[in-house]
A and B are shown apart, each in its own frame.
Chain A
Amino acid sequence: MTRSDSPLHGRRVAITGGTSGLGLALVRELHRRGAAVAFVARTADRVHAVAAEGDGIAGVVGDVSRKDDIYPIALQITAALGGLDVLVNNASSLGPVPLAPLADTDCEDLEAALATNVVGPFRLTKALLGALAASAREARAPIVVNVSSDAAETPYPQWGAYGASKAALRHLSRIWREELVGLGIDMVSVDPGDMDTPLHALAVPDADPASLKRPEQAAVEIADLLERRLGGANGEPERDAVAAVGR
């Protein structure tokens, strides 16, 4: 699909965790399809390097797990894009590194996973809800994508902090989606599958990369999902609350 054909063309998209793994692949893929992209990440040098990859990519330095960062992040996103149609809550924390059974997990590591994976997306989505509602009033079909994991459903030993936080995010998405229907804002929880990313390398350092999905592939699948959600020539947009892509 060429840029101007894509339903993503001209959409204003924000992505958290945009300098590595799936987030970086999404920045590139959605920009390639003609979206105006703002991304968030913690490390200034890496933010500036990714932002320099193309016109129409704006970088915001911030940490979604920090309460005081949320509104400055939201302000810079909407200032850069002039509004917002798509929010991808992608930034994730693994919890304890190396992975540990819950009984050996420090409370602080569980709190850190919850802060990044649940409370951060909740806060940022709330801060940007006004912009998303404005998008809905102008019939631009806004959508929030929360990046989930099969660890949100399957009780993998050692993945307790991550799995519990992703399960909370997934359930939050499902409830919030019901509440946002009336405002015309869609929300979906997406499981991209096991990917060859820095986060996965922290969790399973000796995994064979060849056995893992490439984040670029997952980004294509999520971009395709967004195009189906946004509708277009092929009829009714999809409307499921939970989506597993490409698996």
Chain B
Amino acid sequence: MTAASGPRGGAARLLVVDGDGAIVHRRASDLPALVQPGDVVVANDAATLPASLTGRHEPSGAAIEVRLAGRRSLAPQRTRRFVAVVFGDGDHRTPTEHRPLPPALRRGDRLHLGPIAAVVERVRAHPRLIELAFEGPLEDVWEAIARHGRPIQYAHVPQPLPLWSTWTRLASVPVAFEPPSAGFVLDWAGVIRLRERGATLVTLTHAAGISSTGDPALDALLPLDEPYRVPGVTAARIDEARAARGRVIAIGTTVVRALEHAALPHGRVRAGAGVATQRLGPSTRLRVVDAILSGTHEPGTSHHELLRAFQGDDVLSAMAGELEAAGYQTHEFGDFVWLADGHRAAASRSAVA
């Protein structure tokens, strides 16, 4: 599939896979028509940080790119510590798999990142993966990130991405490291149309981490732990929808990860803050989410693994064939898929039988 280079909103395409695995081609602007009265649509309202910071490694003087990739808490004014992936010299125009390693990083090393400095607090189980703490007053940290940082981006989009292009319409608090890109499916007119359909739109906030490092050993560690918060009103609307046999439709993999982490028995959801640590895949039994609206993800990525929680490999393989044959676009500004939970559909069929 080819990569799209910027948000396309309702003009994007939408491949729909229903619970039985049947495939239909729609447009992203058709989303409200797929939603039924009583459904609850849950989106991630995280805004995206310009999480790529260039600078140099003080002990060696070597040029580096630091990509912020994880955090423990959603509270911006209490956050100065981040998990980060460090690259050697170069920028996003070089595919990540060809990027050089950074100089050897050690605990206590200072990193000069434009107007601000950070200290390496720990090197994790990979030479690119560190924990760092920014120095200085927190408002200076946020000013430096806002002004010096660039959105994390990849070689499939060579031109520099402006920050605005990485914020979905619903983007609220800047806690994500890469856009929760399924949210690009919604514009404000679509939000109103969802409600006119009799569905409810609610949000949670989830610090979406990086999607790829180009390094198989590091990619195998993804997704990193991701903090999230489920507002009380969101948990309440999900409970009400389930009680009335409405469906819970997740906009994006981050929403699935957060809701399934916050799941309580009987498909209820715990409101409040949490840190999603689990991996979702073919052995996952979804407890809350009935369907996902997602970008198109390539096999082998953690995002694609998550889709295997919804449908068997035969259906996903048929879907991949359709996406390829019909020329769907991929990556963060690409086209969309809708996947209903086929396992649940099968379970309800056998219950009826």
Of the candidates B143, B167, B169, B203, the one whose C-beta lies within 8 Å of that of A71 is: B167
Does A75 contact B142, Cβ atoms closer than 8 Å?
A: yes
Does A137 contact B76, Cβ atoms closer than 8 Å?
A: no
**CB closest residue in chain B, given A68:** B162
Is A70's CB within 8 Å of the partner chain B?
A: yes
Is A83's CB within 8 Å of the partner chain B?
A: yes
- Residue interface bits B35-49, CB-to-A below 8 A is 1, else 0: 000000000010101
Residues of B within 8 A of A131 (CB): 47, 171-173
Complex Cα spacing A83 to B46, Å: 11
Is B192's CB within 8 Å of the partner chain A?
A: yes
**CB closest residue in chain B, given A48:** B139
Residues of A within 8 A of B93 (CB): none
Does B174 contact A129, Cβ atoms closer than 8 Å?
A: no
Complex Cα spacing A73 to B47, Å: 13
Residues of B within 8 A of A137 (CB): 202-203, 231, 233-234
Residues of B within 8 A of A99 (CB): none
Residues of B within 8 A of A84 (CB): 172
Is A72's CB within 8 Å of the partner chain B?
A: yes
Among residues 108 to 158 in chain A, which have CB atoms less than 8 Å away from a CB atom of chain B? Answer: 127, 129-131, 133-134, 137-139
Does B143 contact A76, Cβ atoms closer than 8 Å?
A: yes
**CB closest residue in chain B, given A58:** B139
Q: B113 → chain A, closest Cβ, in Å?
A: 16
**CB closest residue in chain B, given A78:** B173
Is A17's CB within 8 Å of the partner chain B?
A: no
- Residue interface bits B179-192, CB-to-A below 8 A is 1, else 0: 00000000010011
- Residue interface bits B134-163, CB-to-A below 8 A is 1, else 0: 000001001101110000000000000011
Does A130 contact B146, Cβ atoms closer than 8 Å?
A: no
Complex Cα spacing A78 to B205, Å: 13
Among residues 47 to 80 in chain A, which have CB atoms less than 8 Å away from a CB atom of chain B? Answer: 51, 58-61, 68, 70-76, 78-80
Is B243's CB within 8 Å of the partner chain A?
A: no
Is B170's CB within 8 Å of the partner chain A?
A: yes
Q: From known contacts A134-B45, A137-B202, A139-B233, infer whether A76 and B142 are also in contact, taking CB-CB under 8 Å.
A: yes
Complex Cα spacing A74 to B167, Å: 11
Does A127 contact B75, Cβ atoms closer than 8 Å?
A: no
Number of A-B contacts (CB under 8 A): 89
Q: A73 → chain B, closest Cβ, in Å?
A: 8
Q: From known contacts A72-B146, A137-B203, infer whether A82 and B76 are also in contact, taking CB-CB under 8 Å.
A: yes
Does A130 contact B195, Cβ atoms closer than 8 Å?
A: no
Of the candidates B77, B195, B202, B233, the one whose C-beta lies within 8 Å of that of A79 is: B77
Is B168's CB within 8 Å of the partner chain A?
A: yes
Complex Cα spacing A140 to B95, Å: 45
Does A130 contact B163, Cβ atoms closer than 8 Å?
A: no
Does A129 contact B231, Cβ atoms closer than 8 Å?
A: no
Q: From known contacts A61-B143, A72-B163, A130-B169, infer whether A82 and B77 are also in contact, taking CB-CB under 8 Å.
A: yes
**CB closest residue in chain A, given B191:** A183
Complex Cα spacing A182 to B192, Å: 7
Complex Cα spacing A133 to B203, Å: 10
Residues of A within 8 A of B233 (CB): 137-139
Does B47 contact A78, Cβ atoms closer than 8 Å?
A: yes
Q: B99 → chain A, closest Cβ, in Å?
A: 26
Q: A244 → chain B, closest Cβ, in Å?
A: 30
Complex Cα spacing A137 to B191, Å: 13
Of the candidates A58, A79, A134, A183, the one whose C-beta lies within 8 Å of that of B188 is: A183
Residues of B within 8 A of A130 (CB): 45, 47, 167-172
Does A70 contact B164, Cβ atoms closer than 8 Å?
A: yes
Complex Cα spacing A56 to B16, Å: 48
Does B195 contact A182, Cβ atoms closer than 8 Å?
A: yes
Does B173 contact A83, Cβ atoms closer than 8 Å?
A: yes
Complex Cα spacing A83 to B45, Å: 11
Complex Cα spacing A51 to B139, Å: 11
From A58, A79, A139, residue with most partner B Cβ within 10 Å = A79
From B172, B191, B232, B234, residue with most partner A Cβ within 10 Å = B172
Does B170 contact A133, Cβ atoms closer than 8 Å?
A: yes
Does A134 contact B191, Cβ atoms closer than 8 Å?
A: no
Q: From known contacts A78-B173, A130-B170, A183-B188, infer whether A71 and B164 are also in contact, taking CB-CB under 8 Å.
A: yes
Residues of A within 8 A of B231 (CB): 137-138
Does B77 contact A72, Cβ atoms closer than 8 Å?
A: no
Does B45 contact A75, Cβ atoms closer than 8 Å?
A: no
Residues of A within 8 A of B172 (CB): 78, 83-84, 130-131, 133-134
Q: B264 → chain A, closest Cβ, in Å?
A: 21
Residues of B within 8 A of A74 (CB): 47
Complex Cα spacing A152 to B337, Å: 48
B-side residues, CB < 8 A to A, are 45, 47, 49-50, 75-77, 139, 142-143, 145-147, 162-164, 167-174, 188, 191-192, 195, 202-203, 231-234
Q: Which 8 A-B pairs have the closest CB atoms?
A: A79-B76, A72-B146, A71-B163, A134-B172, A131-B172, A130-B171, A130-B172, A79-B142
With A82-B77, A134-B170 given, name 6 new contacts (CB 8 A): A74-B47, A76-B139, A130-B172, A133-B191, A138-B232, A182-B195
10 contacts between A and B (CB under 8 A): A71-B146, A79-B77, A80-B142, A82-B77, A129-B169, A134-B170, A134-B173, A134-B203, A139-B233, A182-B192
